[in-house]
Amino acid sequence: MTDRRSGATAVTEKPKTAFWNDRDVRAVIFQILIVLGVLAVGWYLVHNTLANLEQRKIATGFSFLGREAGFSIGESLIPYSAADTYLHAIWVGIINTLLVSVIGIALATVLGTVIGVARLSTNWLVARLASVYVEGLRNIPLLLQLFFWYSLVSEALPPVRQALKLVPDYVFLSQKGLRVPHIVDHAIYGWMGLLVLVGIIGAFLWRRAAARHQEATGKLRPVFWPTVGLLIGPAALLWLVTGAPLTLEKPELRGFDFRGGGTLSPEMIALLIGLVTYTASFIAENVRAGILSVPKGQWEASRALGLPNGRALRLIILPQALRVIVPPMTSQYLNLTKNSSLAVAIGYPDLVSILNTTINQTGQGIEGVALIMAAYLTVSLSISAFMNWYNKRIALIER
């Protein structure tokens, strides 16, 4: 309030109220009470669990991870034997889970995109076949599909001695899985891998520089071939300079089984087919919805420029549709990763399968389940963080 005669401004004092009538103070007090309540419930659960385990003479803690596992694992990308520790066995399970998840996500994305585009085809038969695929596979439980594919792979394929020769003398398919040639390791391969990593960084910087040059001058710089050259050029040059070392270990039938080469087991084949075909049916719908969200005027404009439908889809429509496709696609990637835990039903040694064996041998179920939850939570949050970063990069920036 302003006094006209003195020109001074009188400050109106806020009437004092009791702290329990102050809205801000009450909000802080309620939050503190909720946090204390959650901590109290957590403490009670942990204390009660530890007391019951001690009463029943059940060991607790993670010291068992350093003990000898004593069981073998059928598939492993890293050296492993039954004499290794439980921690090493769990690491093998994590790698197997990541392997299936990464390959499954890549294949499901490609197949789902093809099916999603096919559903919008003007060809009546192609569109109906794509619809049958989507409606059929996404409405059958994944576990049943895994049983079906595993039965098909293990029963319908011929025995080892009558294996199908997909590529004579090199690739064989039988009830024991897919046998392929194996590249014998060489000291130069590590350096080639390092050069590929350097090439990835170089390609990223080149694409970025090309984009900035286009924004500044409006002129396009070549991107595709320089990217390919940076990725494989230095590694290929080193390989040629060192005499092009390449030794293939081919699978050979000796007795009742193949010896040598690499193996893709029936369990892994069935798991990949089931996860990829099931997840692709959902991704197809995401792709279809994303394409339909792009205004028809964009199609008409691209045709006016003389672009055929294929190039219009690749250059005009899909880049805009990605803003709608990516968020639900993230959920499908997370679902595929979590659904890989069903591998235990058909005998694939993933993380859940190995930790189930560990729990049966050590009796420490709480620690085992906690490790499974922590591993899947870490992988899922990593996928979610990457997809959120990618979604932010392709988001439409409004001025």
Share of the chain above pLDDT 70, in %: 95
Residue 195 vs residues 210, 226, 247, 293, 366: alpha-carbon distances, Å: 22, 15, 21, 42, 44
Residue 319 pLDDT greater than 90, yes or no: no
The predicted structure's pLDDT at residue 14? 62
Q: Are 340 and 275 in contact (CB under 8 A)?
A: yes
- The reply to whether the predicted model has a pTM over 0.75 is yes
The predicted structure's pLDDT at residue 12? 60
In the three-class reduction of DSSP (H, G, I as helix; E, B as strand; rest coil), residue 177 is classed as strand
Strongest mean pLDDT among 8-22, 250-264, 285-299: 285-299
Amino acid at 172: F
The average pLDDT across 200-214 equals 88
Give 127's contacts (C-beta < 8 A, 6+ positions apart): 118, 119, 120, 121
Question: For the residues of 207-261, what is the DSSP string, one character each?
Answer: HHHHHHHHHHHS-----HHHHHHHHHHHHHHHHHHTT----EE--EEETTEEESS
Spell out the alpha helix ranges (H) of 314-364.
318-339, 351-362
User: How many whole angstroms separate alpha carbon 28 and alpha carbon 38?
Assistant: 16
Structure tokens at 397: 């920036």
The predicted structure's pLDDT at residue 31? 94
